[in-house]
Structure 1
Amino acid sequence: MDITIKSLDGKDAGQVTLADEIFGLEPREDILQRMVRYQLAKRQQGTHQTLGRAEIARTGAKLYKQKGTGRARHGSARAPQFRGGGKAHGPVSRSHDHDLPKKVRALALRHALSAKAQSGGLLVIDELTSQDGKTKVTIKQFSGLGLTNALVIGGAELEANFARSARNIPHIDVLPVQGINVYDILRRQTLVLSKAAVEALEERFK
């Protein structure tokens, strides 16, 4: 697949041939769904916690005598049916993440890249640089390219001025190529790759 490389100023800066085994697959929704679910589950804190009856600080004495009161036979004020008692089957701190094979994760990333290429939501930029690190200038450049909701992926290291100028723009995420992931690709309308990012991805999946 051939795609035109653009500069940040909106001018053509040549052509690049994208590998079909990375950008030319037929996207599978089931694989993308599994990967997004895996990412979001891994991200969950899992710190929700309620006190069970064993953790409640209340007297351990029997409430009242066993027989003769005409009331139900209770042995502990910590029981869930009492006000101030422990929670029955409440949430406990735990990890929500689950396994997903490494090959499926790698395949999901290729399917996400292919989905963007197929839908026309892929843009390749020659260099992600900024002269003075001004957000105003970068917003103007992005609007010239029609970018209002985008994930921008640079090379192994982001140019400091560009990263500084783009980090406060709403609905724009900027990541180095190591941080590329399926969830962020799918949640943004356009995927912007630098020339260095394309080379790094092709090297990674070679």
Structure 2
Amino acid sequence: MKVKVQKLDGKAVSGKGGEVELNDDVFGVEPRADILHRVVTWQLENRRATARPTRERSDVARTGKKYGKQKGGGVARHGDRKAPIFIGGGRAHGARKRDFEQSLNKKIRALGLKMALSSKAKDGLVIVDSLEVKDGKTKALKGHFDKAGFAGKVLVIDGESVNDGFKKAAGNLPGVNVLPAMGANVYDILKHDTLVLTTDAVEKLEARFNG
């Protein structure tokens, strides 16, 4: 499919670079809610850190020797100092280790990213020629976004790396996030209202799947 290329301020790019041909194998896939849900769940679960366990009676490094006589001491009978009632003993019914990492087939992950890009290609995708911002000023970038009509949350994806001036200018704009093409992921694409890709980002994303 062909999509018009514009500048950051919404003005059309004239000449040969005024349009870009998007690969239908990447930007023309019919989205499926079940695939997108699986990929987003996998992505969010893998962000969770491992829940640390507490040391129970069998994990505490204390002597196992019976420290008192069975009878005649006038106190309760105990086998060792690992019991939870003693200082330094193991915790009773402590938290267990929980690892939330999930595995997901690479083909499903790739398909999910294609579907996320395709869903934005239908509504919410903007292609720009570059991310050049004068002096890296936030005020100048906000003016460009206002002229272009960007509303809500905006995700901007550049090529190999994000333009330094743009990254600096976008740092103080709420709801605006920037990523290199390698960092493109399903969750971030879907949770933003507008997806802005540079022409370099389009090339990198298409090469990512064709390579």
Q: TM-score, normalised by structure 1?
A: 0.83
**Residue 195 of structure 1 corresponds to which residue in structure 2?**
199
Which amino acid is the alignment partner of residue 148 of structure 1? G
| Shift in alpha-carbon separation, 1:62–1:156, aligned structure 2, 3 A | same
**Residue 96 of structure 1 corresponds to which residue in structure 2?**
100
**Residue 25 of structure 2 corresponds to which residue in structure 1?**
21
**Residue 131 of structure 2 corresponds to which residue in structure 1?**
128
**Residue 155 of structure 1 corresponds to which residue in structure 2?**
159
Superposed CA deviations along residues 79-128 of structure 1, whole A, max 9, x for unmatched, are 45x48653425232x6422221111111111011111122x111111111
Give unmatched runs, 5+ long, in structure 1. Answer: none
Aligned mate of 1:175, from 174, 179, 184? 179
**Does the aligned pair in 1 maintain the 2:152–2:192 contact within 8 Å?**
no
Which amino acid is the alignment partner of residue 90 of structure 1? A
| Shift in alpha-carbon separation, 1:65–1:144, aligned structure 2, 3 A | farther
Shift of 1:67: 7.3
Question: How many Å separate the matches in 2 of 1:128 and 1:48?
Answer: 43
**Does the aligned pair in 2 maintain the 1:121–1:191 contact within 8 Å?**
yes
Question: How many Å separate the matches in 2 of 1:162 and 1:104?
Answer: 33
**Does the aligned pair in 2 maintain the 1:142–1:148 contact within 8 Å?**
no
Aligned mate of 1:52, from 29, 42, 56? 56
SS in 2 for 1:113: helix
Give unmatched runs, 5+ long, in structure 2. Answer: none
Question: How many Å separate the matches in 2 of 1:115 and 1:83?
Answer: 60
Aligned mate of 1:164, from 161, 168, 173? 168
Measured on the aligned residues, the alpha-carbon RMSD in Å equals 2.7
Q: TM-score, normalised by structure 2?
A: 0.81
Question: How many Å separate the matches in 2 of 1:189 and 1:65?
Answer: 72
Alignment of 1:20-99 (within 5 A): 20-56=24-60, 75=79, 78-79=82-83, 82=85, 86-87=90-91, 88=93, 90-92=95-97, 95-99=99-103
Percent of paired sites with the same residue: 46
SS in 2 for 1:132: helix
Which amino acid is the alignment partner of residue 102 of structure 2? H
Shift of 1:16: 2.0
Shift of 1:177: 0.7
